[in-house]
Homo-oligomer: A and B are copies of this chain.
Amino acid sequence: MPAKSTTPLSAGVIRTDLPMADGRTIRYYDIGTVDRTAADQRPIEAQPGIGELRFDPLVNEWVAVASHRQGRVFLPPKELCPLCPTRGDLASEIPDSSYQVVVFDNRSPSFTEPSADWALTEHPDLFTPDIDAAGKCEVICYTDQHEGSFGELPLSQIRMVMEAWRDRTREISQLPYISYVFPFENRGEEVGVTLNHPHGQVYAYPFIPPRATKMMEAAVLHHAKTGRTLMEDVIAREVKDEVRIIAQNNHWIAFVPYAARYPFEIHVAPKAHFADLAEISDEVADAFPSIAKEVLLRLDGVFGESMAYIAAWHQAPVREGRDLMRVHWQITSVRRAPGKLKYLAGSESAMGAFIMDLEPEQSAAQMRAVQL
């Protein structure tokens, strides 16, 4: 079992790693002098086995089968929340009685550390047998307070979460079996959230996921045509059109994209080129909390109620396309009006063809009109 270790990061954040009872690792991110020592008191439990990757020959994509996840915790009452700190007798996932930000290995991971000789099948096809679902799945708790949301956190707390994202991206990218690191948040029962405590996740895939592959192909094609990076020209268009911009500061811009697919969709991008979160400078990281908060409060303000969303960090793959792909944050919400959701039905789901009921300019105007 690995012993306790501490690592200094940017912005005065110290990371402390401790082992959990079942062999997983928990990482505390703290500002100030906090000594993390609380031991995981739960009985030692076997970790679930590794899932499998099956190759779907109809579209040439890997599908992960993680049947051990079927029994995972589903919307427990607040007093049984596994993401709250441990107070009293009920041991949660976090042994300490308080925390600032923590990241721990997911108890029901879709992707897991493989054996040393694991390798992704090259040129897979219909005849490729299934292989172990190598990868990493981590949970990131944004605060030890059970109520609230990412957008409602103090700016200093959002900055600490950003530091944790950067740290996880940097460290996980070193693993030889990882091709793509994906920090994200699902928020709201409408998108299937099974725990209400403010938290996100990091999935690290052993392949470049299908949508990232498509984004890379588009970026390569655009560069071949124009000599420029795609995101540079996307941002230039949004600046020129102006009507879809939601917020900006010296380092970041937030806009509803010209070809949005969801009733409320916001892309938040650094103005300069960074391939991933590990690459962005401290100055750019420092400028993120204010725009993140503004954007999420505007989103919640549209209907005066908290919006379900998926907030996804799109990054360059670990070892490819790093000069052409830029890190950015895509927030998409399926709520199109109070009480009405957009569903991904036949056209979107089976054909991948999106139909938008709301003009991007209209949703941008609604979000800009919100009084903060």
Contacts and interface: CB of A to CB of B under 8 A. Distances in A.
Contact of A70 (B191, B203, B336, B344): B336
Given A57-B230, A210-B351, 12 more contacts: A56-B261, A58-B218, A63-B355, A63-B356, A66-B356, A69-B355, A186-B346, A191-B343, A192-B341, A192-B342, A310-B349, A312-B351
A172 to B, nearest CB: 15
A335 to B, nearest CB: 12
A347 interface: yes
Contacts of A346: 182, 184-186, 201, 203, 310, 312
Interface in A296-330: 310, 312, 314, 330
A146 interface: no
Interface of A: 54-67, 69-70, 74, 110, 125-126, 180, 182, 184-186, 191-193, 201, 203, 205, 209-212, 214-215, 217-218, 221-222, 225, 230, 233-234, 237, 257-261, 310, 312, 314, 330, 332, 336-337, 340-347, 349-360, 362
A357 B70 contact: yes
B357 A69 contact: yes
Nearest to A52: B359
Contacts of A56: 257-259, 261
Contact of A60 (B65, B201, B218, B360): B218
B351 A212 contact: yes
A244 to B, nearest CB: 12
A64 B353 CA distance: 8
B312 A350 contact: yes
A350 B58 contact: no
A312 B233 CA distance: 37
A28 to B, nearest CB: 24
A66 B192 contact: no
7 contacts: A62-B353, A67-B359, A67-B362, A182-B350, A209-B347, A209-B351, A212-B352
A56 B63 CA distance: 25
A192 B62 CA distance: 27
Given A346-B182, A351-B312, A55 B192 contact: no
A186 B261 CA distance: 19
Contacts of A110: 347, 355
A210 to B, nearest CB: 3
Nearest to A110: B355
Nearest to A221: B60
A325 to B, nearest CB: 10
